[in-house]
Amino acid sequence: MFICYVFSSFGQMRTCKVTSTKERRFTDVTYKVIIKGMTSCEERDILNGITGAVNPGEVLALMGPSGSGKTTLLNLLGGRLIQSTVSGSITYNDQPYSKFLKSRIGFVTQDDVLFPHLTVKETLTYAARLRLPKVLTRQQKEKRAVDVIYELGLERCQDTMIGGSFVRGVSGGERKRVCIGNEIIINPSLLFLDEPTSGLDSTTALRTIQTLQDIAEVGKTVITTIHQPSSRLFHKFDKLILLGKGSLLYFGKASEAIDYFSSIGCSPLIAMNPAEFLLDLANGNLTDTSVPSELEDKVQMENSETETGNGKPPPAVVHEVMFDFDSSFYSTRGAL
Ligand SMILES: Nc1ncnc2c1ncn2[C@@H]1O[C@H](COP(=O)(O)OP(=O)(O)OP(=O)(O)O)[C@@H](O)[C@H]1O
Ligand SMILES: [Mg+2]
């Protein structure tokens, strides 16, 4: 009885599919900072007119080059940056940010802050005891911690110390999952994450994003910044915001981003990771279709007669050569 009450007050039950229409919407969001110098004050635009929306059940990725404003936008959407220099509207289900909403938000920061000498289980149990409401008994809180451990696949390392600079502990991916666990323990409706996959290999990163998608699937809204996702990981996102120097370059379905840029005349000349291509665009590398130098040699040797007039090999040929290069690389390595 109690559990039902608490979980429904924090969000939807974990077992049901999305039916709610709650929506996080932001319109024309602008953020400026005033940089004070020795003699003068300078106003600097950090974000310019960012508009978008995200629904429960969706994972929204904020992508862009370093310094483009991803963390700033995430902080604004998470209600962590309430200043007079912010303009535009940010609403949750047509309501502005409120104290009640704050209790329904989980925020995983880029830098993990965990006690190095506690084990994974102890960390999550303390989080449950401290953050879950008083109406739950101690046993119910401890059960919630155990549930989160299984939900995040941390059962194998639950008795390992977190570790830090001087104490060896869990791996980077496990550590990141503990940080996510610290936030999902309160069953938030909205989960914000700042670069949850940075420093992880692509398989662990994929598993982390899969976890986020599972969280979204039961009716939560997940907003995450991401640096350079692999192509498999990129396709896991429902929506995408691409930022460049604080301006919005794209907002919409992640799966339609490449088609959109093709429709306005920007398409990759070689087969490449869509995220990498979008970051190139956001960095202003519109014309850089260069091929790695190893490939250039091959292209010139093997396909001199198929070169196009502008000195660049046709895309189909480059693709073929890349594939050749990859397989010869792996077969050589395998023979060693
Ligand atoms: N309070 C502030 N004062 C001055 N400059 C700021 C402030 N907050 C953000 N900036 C600047 O705004 C820009 C965007 O910062 P932000 O941290 O949002 O970038 P980011 O896209 O998250 O970058 P990264 O990928 O490196 O984490 C940066 O150039 C940063 O220096
Ligand atoms: Mg950042």
Asked if 178 and 154 touch (Cβ cutoff 8 Å), the reply is yes
Which of 9-23, 89-103, 216-230, 293-307 is predicted with the least confidence, judged by mean pLDDT? 9-23
- pTM of the predicted model as reported, rounded to 2 decimal places: 0.77
Q: Give the integer Cα–Cα distance in Å for 153 and 149.
A: 6
Thinking of the domain 2-21+56-80+96-260, which architecture would CATH place it in?
Answer: 3-Layer(aba) Sandwich (3.40)
Q: How far is the CA of 72 from the centre of ligand 1 (A)?
A: 6
φ, ψ for residue 24, nearest 5 deg: -95, 115
pLDDT at 92: 82
Closest-lying ligand to the alpha carbon of 67?
A: 1
The ranges assigned to domains in the chain are: 2-21+56-80+96-260, 292-336
Share of the chain above pLDDT 70, in %: 77
33 Cβ inside 6 Å of ligand 1: yes
Q: What is the residue with the minimal CA distance to atom 12 of ligand 1? A: 46
Task: Report CA(330)–ligand 1 centroid distance (Å).
Answer: 40
Residue nearest to atom 13 of ligand 1 (CA): 67
**E strand segments, the chain:** 24-36, 41-54, 59-63, 86-92, 95-96, 105-108, 190-193, 221-226, 239-244, 247-253
Per residue in 25-75, pLDDT (tens digit) is 777 777 777 777 777 777 888 888 888 889 999 999 999 999 999 999 999
172-196: per-residue pLDDT in tens? 888 988 999 999 998 898 999 999 8
Which residues lie at CB < 5 A from ion ligand 2?
Answer: 71
For residue 227, the ligand closest to its alpha carbon is 1
Between 332 and 311, the higher pLDDT residue = 311
Name the residue of 68, 83, 247 whose CB sits within 8 Å of the most ligand 1 atoms, as the mutation to test its pocket. 68
Ligand sitting nearest the alpha carbon of 68: 1
Residue 219 Cβ inside 6 Å of ligand 1? The answer reads no
Ligand 2 centroid from CA 66, angstroms: 7
Look-up of token digits 């990725």 = 61
The residue whose C-alpha atom lies closest to atom 3 belonging to ligand 1 is 33
End-to-end CA distance of the chain: 63
Phi, psi (degrees; rounded to nearest 5) at 32: -120, 150
Q: Do 119 and 160 contact (CB within 8 A), yes or no?
A: yes
For residue 70, the CA-to-ligand 1 centroid distance in Å is 8
